[in-house]
Amino acid sequence: MKIFILSIFYGTFFILSPNYWGFYAHSLINRMAVYSLPPEMMVLYKPHIQFITEKAVNPDRRRYAVKGEAEKHYIDLDHYGDSALFILPIYWNEAVEKFGEDSLRANGIGPWAAYFTFLNLTKAFSERNHSAILRISADLGHYIGDLHVPLHTTKNYNGQLTGQEGIHGFWESRIPELQATDYSLWVGKADYIAKPQHAIWEIVAQTHSQVDSVLLFEKELSREFPSDRKYSFEERNNLTVRVYSKEFSEAYAEKLDGMVQRQMKKSIKAIADFWYTAWINAGQPDLKSLPAVEVEEEEINPDLKLRVREH
């Protein structure tokens, strides 16, 4: 099953040079989630699997074009102290009342944004809106995927506070790029989520619990590897770029004991579960009979004046 599904992916999708959980990983995660859907949903998602795959990266592209998008991809839990998960309300209105919307947005609104996107998907199913279902499904997959990346839950998101600059892309892009062909990513069938908001925060809590390991293990390995072994150079888009060496990357992945693969699998399962739950909550509309329409390409034009952080 693993070889079959991954061969489908590699045979039909051009692998981009990634910058985030990364373009490559987001696309693979969204694609794999489709295979966990029941037949009643597969009739819509399977014919449009390429769209779901390719548009998985649109929210990242939108970060540089739409004000208010960037903060949807993360939450700096440590900004709120060691008890963040206990003092942060899971409901948006209560959180705004307690902390103020500007303050919340300044420190990331990932969990709430994912939930609102889920509600929008439920609405799209209810309205039998073919185009919206596909577009919002791709977006929701991205946001839920981001919540499975430990460095999306801390203000030290790129190791910039501990002298580990670059660790963000290293964990979520370089490792999958090198190893994902060997990952077993089949997660079984989608399940219904009784309490979606609570489920999102459970994801965030589990993800955040791994931040210390992500940073600590990289720092320990960096003491063992001189610079000429830690980094190497590769050709990307006709440019020579410095990357983490395969040797260092493999050592880091081994020290993490499969964390990246586990988080990718958790992302795939959660995405399929949320898609399925939105469909159930919308009354299980018949997706076979949706009028076939061409999904319009989203126009995303970077705003050069917009300043956003790299997660």
Residues 54-70: pLDDT tens digits?
A: 999 999 999 999 999 99
How many helices (H) and strands (E) the chain has is answered by 17, 2
**pLDDT of residue 14 exceeding 50:** no
Radius of gyration of the chain (CA): 19
Secondary structure element (H or E) that encloses residue 231, with its range: strand 231-236
Task: State pTM to two decimals.
Answer: 0.91
Report whether 60 contacts 39 (CB < 8 A).
no
- Tokens 């900004």 belong to 79
In 3-state terms, what secondary structure has residue 218?
helix
**pLDDT of residue 104 exceeding 60:** yes
> Among the listed ranges 210-214, 243-247, 291-295, which one has the minimum average pLDDT value?
291-295
d(CA 26, CA 57): 7
- Amino acid identity at 308: V
**pLDDT of residue 238 exceeding 90:** no
- Amino acid identity at 48: H
- Amino acid identity at 208: H
> What is residue 82's predicted lDDT score, i.e. its pLDDT?
93
d(CA 168, CA 311): 8
**pLDDT of residue 305 exceeding 50:** yes
> Among the listed ranges 11-25, 79-93, 272-286, which one has the minimum average pLDDT value?
11-25
pLDDT band at 226 (very low <50, low <70, confident <90, very high): very high
**5: closest CA among 263, 181, 269?**
181
Segment 248-297, tens digit of pLDDT: 999 999 999 999 999 999 999 999 999 999 999 999 999 998 877 777 78
pLDDT band at 22 (very low <50, low <70, confident <90, very high): low
**Mutual angle of helices 110-126 and 196-208, in 10-degree steps:** 150
- Tokens 């299980």 belong to 284
> What is residue 297's predicted lDDT score, i.e. its pLDDT?
80
**pLDDT of residue 205 exceeding 90:** yes
Q: Kindly tell me the burial class for residue 289, based on how many C-beta atoms sit within 10 Å of its own C-beta (0-12, 13-18, 19 or more).
A: exposed
d(CA 290, CA 292): 6
> What is residue 35's predicted lDDT score, i.e. its pLDDT?
98
Segment 138-186, tens digit of pLDDT: 999 999 999 999 999 999 999 999 999 999 999 999 999 999 999 999 9
When the pLDDT of each residue in the chain is averaged and rounded to a whole number, the result is: 91
User: How many percent of the chain have pLDDT more than 70?
Assistant: 93
